[in-house]
Amino acid sequence: MTSSKGLEGVVATQSAISSIIDDTLTYVGYDIDDLAVNASFEEVIYLLWHQRLPKAAELAELKQQLADNMAVPQAVLDHFKTYDIQNVHPMAALRTAVSMLGLFDEEAEVMEPEANYRKAVKIQAKISTLVTAFGRIRSGKEPVAPKTDLSFAANFLYMLSGELPEAIEEEAFNKALVLHADHELNASTFTARVAVATLSDVYSGVTAAIGALKGPLHGGANEQVMKMLTEIGSVENVDNVIHEKLANKEKIMGFGHRVYRNGDPRAKHLREMSQKLTKIRGEEKWYDMSVKINDIVTGEKNLPPNVDFYSASVYHSLNIDHDLFTPIFAVSRTSGWLAHILEQYSNNRLIRPRAEYIGPGMQTYVPVEER
Ligand SMILES: CC(=O)SCCNC(=O)CCNC(=O)[C@H](O)C(C)(C)COP(=O)(O)OP(=O)(O)OC[C@H]1O[C@@H](n2cnc3c(N)ncnc32)[C@H](O)[C@@H]1OP(=O)(O)O
Ligand SMILES: O=C([O-])CC(=O)C(=O)O
């Protein structure tokens, strides 16, 4: 038996949801470049869950279902006030809050496909409310109720800031949601599939996935990118800091990818949004620093930026707290996790790989007093 470290190159399942072939990402056969420019996040949710784009009435119905399900139980909101919220990472809070939602859903353990679909709608709708409510409660503000006539993207920004977003902000945020929605068998999606392949419930699958997304080698990288940009502080400092990091064999957050070798197709869309938004804010330095880092890391290490790199300066330009960047990734990726969870249930087999044993050979037990 031989193993592949990190399961590199292992094809672990079949899926009809998204694909990465020759550095091209598609959702159900639609190129991400096409969707990023043209699709609303709600259309993408429908696409991932039904494997086809919605007709107008179907889209309207999904939007209504999401709007109807955005409220979260008061007890879940109150629980944010039961711990030291200033010193808790929002991803840890989100992981617990999503798990807690399951305790208030009388259908949580019902495994029929229709009930699982209803749970998907509930979780997708409520996760937006959870992240924005956490952000507001932490700042000493009351949560803001959603406006049912807003898009998913606009509603998130509205519930977070209490103000209606400008058109360019809504466009940027919608694009970010579309770009992050699904990505084949990434670590958090695999985690979700492993969890539900035991025939555990939907809430367990999403909770497990949030835990996997949180790490800095995966979704947590976007927060680390902003930390690095803030520490570097100016375009003039980029050269020294990045060369020192590379010389010390430190990883530069937001670069590299297990699957893409010639670059992540999502990065260029976020780069463009970063350029637009930083200019509007009069804070071009974040974009200029990012481009300079990009040039050095790609030029010298042949490592292109991934989806997390330019999303950092995009979210920063939307006035979002840096530690909410990864929860926002979770809000979007929930659509993909749920698609994969539903797909896993529809054709399930327990996921149980083997390990290549590299420990000692056979040993004989020695009583404790004789060791
Ligand atoms: C949404 C997402 O999850 S996208 C990924 C987000 N994560 C990050 O941005 C964190 C930084 N990037 C990384 O850590 C990696 O590139 C990963 C985790 C994304 C992919 O990792 P793997 O496929 O396992 O590659 P691995 O970590 O083995 O790296 C291979 C080589 O490239 C180097 N390398 C990879 N990424 C980087 C980086 N960001 N900065 C510097 N060197 C890097 C490694 O040091 C290693 O070099 P070596 O062979 O000399 O030891
Ligand atoms: O696919 C991966 O390994 C990581 C990634 O880019 C994502 O989850 O969007």
CATH topology of domain 32-216+323-346: Citrate Synthase; domain 1 (1.10.580)
Q: What is the pLDDT of residue 280?
A: 97
CATH topology of domain 221-317: Cytochrome p450-Terp; domain 2 (1.10.230)
308 an active-site residue? yes
Burial group, residue 285, by CB count within 10 angstroms (0-12, 13-18, 19+)? middle
Average pLDDT over residues 162-179: 98
Q: What is the pLDDT of residue 216?
A: 98
- Helices and strands (H, E) in the chain, number of each type: 16, 3
Give residue 86's pLDDT band: very low, low, confident or very high (50, 70, 90): very high
Which of 180, 218, 257, 340 is flagged as catalytic?
257
Of 219, 208, 215, the closest CA to residue 325 belongs to 219
ipTM computed for the complex: 0.98
What mean pLDDT is reported for the chain? Answer: 97
31: which strand partners?
26
| Residues 6+ away with beta carbon under 8 Å from 138 | 80, 85, 86, 90
CB atoms within 10 A of CB 68: 12
SS (H, E, C) 243-268: HHHHHCCCCCCCECCCCCCCCCCCHH
Give residue 261's pLDDT band: very low, low, confident or very high (50, 70, 90): confident
The rounded Å distance from CA 308 to ligand 1 centre is 13
For residues 158 and 151, give the distance between their C-alpha atoms in angstroms, rounded to a whole number: 10
79 an active-site residue? no
Q: State yes or no: pLDDT of 1 exceeds 80.
A: no
Q: Is 251 in the pocket of ligand 1 (CB under 6 A)?
A: yes
Q: State yes or no: pLDDT of 140 exceeds 90.
A: yes
Q: What whole-number percentage of the chain has pLDDT above 70?
A: 100
Give residue 2's pLDDT band: very low, low, confident or very high (50, 70, 90): confident
Q: Is 130 in the pocket of ligand 2 (CB under 6 A)?
A: no
Where do the domains of the chain lie? 32-216+323-346, 221-317
Which ligand has its closest atom nearest to the C-alpha of 25?
2
Cβ atoms 98, 119 nearer than 8 A: no
* Structure-token pair, residue 323: 């530690």
Give residue 189's pLDDT band: very low, low, confident or very high (50, 70, 90): very high
Which ligand has its closest atom nearest to the C-alpha of 332?
2
The rounded Å distance from CA 5 to ligand 1 centre is 14
